[in-house]
C-alpha cells in the first residue's frame, strides 16, 4: 500500500443478493479472513438494506464490518421506503455509503443531499463513505479536477474527521464497465482530493481515500499501489468471496 493509513477494502453489493446465497458468500469471506494470522486492512461489505441485520449478525466478532448503501438525512418520519442512519446502526452496520453515483443519477441526489446524509450518518455513529466521481463527458472536456473539487467541498459533512469519514473516488464511466483510468490519472485525482482536504479538515492526511470503478483481482495491486490510494470500493467483483478475496489480499 502507498501509505501508512490502514487500508479499507469495501464491497458494494448494490441491489444483489438473497438471504441464503449472500450468507454463504459472507461466511466464505469471513472464513478466509479468519485464517490469516493478522489482517492488515479493514474489510467492509455493504449488502442491500434487507440483509444488513442478518449479515451484521453473521459478521459479528469477525474481521468483516457491515455497512448500508444509502441513508436518509432524517432520523425518522414520514419517508416511505427510506432507511435512516440510526436504523442501519441499530441493525448492526458500522458504515454507510453516501452519494454513490447510482444514487446521484437514479435519485437526483445533489451534493447538498449527500452532505445532509453524511451528517446524519455521523450523528448516528456510522462512518460515512462519501462517493465522488466525474462523468465521461466531464473527463473528456477537461473538467475532472474541478468537478471533484466541487463534489468534495459541497458533499463533506460538518464534523468529518479521519475517524468518521472516508472518501471514495469513482469515475462514473469506470463503474461496471471494465474500464479503469490510468494509474497516473488515479494518482492525479487522489493527490488533488488530498490537497483539497487540507483546507477543509484538520486531520486531512488521516482520511482514507478509496478508488472504485471496475476494480478486480487482476488490477487491484496496481491501483492500491498508487500514492494516496488507501483502499478500494468494489462492486461486481465483491459479490463472490472468491473474486473479492484476491483484492483484499493486496492490502493484507
Ligand atoms: P464496479 O462498481 O466495481 O462494479 O465497477 C463499483 C461501485 O459502483 O462501487
Which candidate, 67, 76, 123, 77, places its Cα nearest to that of 100? 67
Q: What is the pLDDT of residue 3?
A: 66
- Cell digits for 47? 449488502
Tell me: pLDDT of 61 over 60. Answer: yes
User: How close is the Cα of 155 to the center of ligand 1, in Å?
Assistant: 20
- Cell digits for 26? 459472507
Q: What is the pLDDT of residue 93?
A: 98
**Span 22-40, average pLDDT:** 95
Sign of CA dihedral 179, 173, 196, 162: negative
Tell me: pLDDT of 1 over 50. Answer: no
Residue 222 designated active-site:
no
Quick check: 239 and 13 in contact, CB under 8 A?
Answer: yes
247 lines ligand 1 (CB under 6 A): no
Tell me: pLDDT of 173 over 90. Answer: yes
133 lines ligand 1 (CB under 6 A): no
Percent helix, strand, coil in the chain, to 5, is 45, 15, 40
Q: What is the pLDDT of residue 251?
A: 94
- Cell digits for 148? 471533484
The whole-chain average pLDDT of the chain stands at 97
Q: What is the pLDDT of residue 82?
A: 98
Residue 100 designated active-site:
yes
Given the residues 100, 190, 192, 228, the one annotated as active site = 100
Q: What is the pLDDT of residue 2?
A: 47
Give the distance, in angstroms, between the CA of residue 82 and the centroid of all CA atoms in the same chain: 20
**Span 78-101, average pLDDT:** 98
Out of 100, 168, 212, mutate this one to test ligand 1's pocket (max ligand atoms within 8 Å of CB): namely 212
Cα–Cα distance, 237 to 167 (Å, whole number): 20
Work out the pLDDT band at 4, boundaries 50, 70, 90.
confident
**Span 75-95, average pLDDT:** 98
Q: Which protein residue has the closest C-alpha to ligand 1 atom 1?
A: 235
12 lines ligand 1 (CB under 6 A): yes
Cα atoms in the 13 Å half-sphere on the side-chain side of 200: 24
Q: Name, in order, each residue with C-beta under 8 angstroms of 20's C-beta and a sequence gap of 6 or more.
A: none
160 lines ligand 1 (CB under 6 A): no
144 lines ligand 1 (CB under 6 A): no
Q: What is the pLDDT of residue 37?
A: 85
Ligand 1 atom with the shortest distance to the CA of 12: 9
Tell me: pLDDT of 204 over 70. Answer: yes
Given the residues 170, 190, 192, 228, the one annotated as active site = 170
pLDDT digits (tens, 9 = 90+) for 121-163: 999 999 999 999 999 999 999 999 999 999 999 999 999 999 9
Amino acid at each position: 500500500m502507498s501509505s501508512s493509513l490502514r487500508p479499507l477494502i469495501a464491497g458494494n453489493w448494490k441491489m444483489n443478493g438473497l438471504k441464503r446465497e449472500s450468507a454463504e458468500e459472507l461466511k466464505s469471506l469471513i472464513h478466509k479472513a479468519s485464517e490469516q494470522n493478522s489482517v492488515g486492512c479493514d474489510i467492509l461489505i455493504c449488502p442491500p438494506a434487507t440483509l444488513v441485520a442478518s449479515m451484521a449478525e453473521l459478521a459479528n466478532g469477525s474481521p468483516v464490518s457491515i455497512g448500508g448503501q444509502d441513508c436518509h438525512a432524517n432520523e425518522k418520519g414520514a419517508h416511505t421506503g427510506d432507511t435512516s442512519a440510526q436504523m442501519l446502526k441499530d441493525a448492526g452496520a458500522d458504515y454507510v455509503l453516501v452519494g454513490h453515483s447510482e444514487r446521484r443519477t437514479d435519485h437526483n441526489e445533489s451534493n447538498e443531499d449527500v452532505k445532509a446524509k453524511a451528517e446524519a450518518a455521523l450523528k448516528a455513529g456510522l462512518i460515512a463513505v462519501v462517493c465522488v466521481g466525474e462523468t465521461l463527458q466531464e473527463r473528456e472536456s477537461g473538467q475532472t479536477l474541478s468537478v471533484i473539487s466541487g463534489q468534495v467541498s459541497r458533499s463533506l459533512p460538518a464534523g468529518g474527521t479521519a475517524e468518521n469519514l472516508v472518501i471514495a473516488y469513482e469515475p462514473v464511466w469506470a463503474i461496471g464497465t471494465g474500464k479503469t483510468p490510468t494509474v497516473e490519472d488515479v494518482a492525479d485525482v487522489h493527490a488533488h482530493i488530498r490537497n483539497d482536504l487540507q483546507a477543509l479538515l484538520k486531520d486531512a492526511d488521516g482520511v482514507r481515500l478509496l478508488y472504485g470503478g471496475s476494480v478486480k483481482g487482476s488490477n487491484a495491486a496496481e491501483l492500491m499501489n498508487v500514492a494516496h490510494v488507501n483502499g478500494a470500493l468494489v462492486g461486481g467483483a465483491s459479490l463472490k468471496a472468491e473474486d473479492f478475496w484476491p483484492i483484499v489480499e493486496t492490502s493484507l
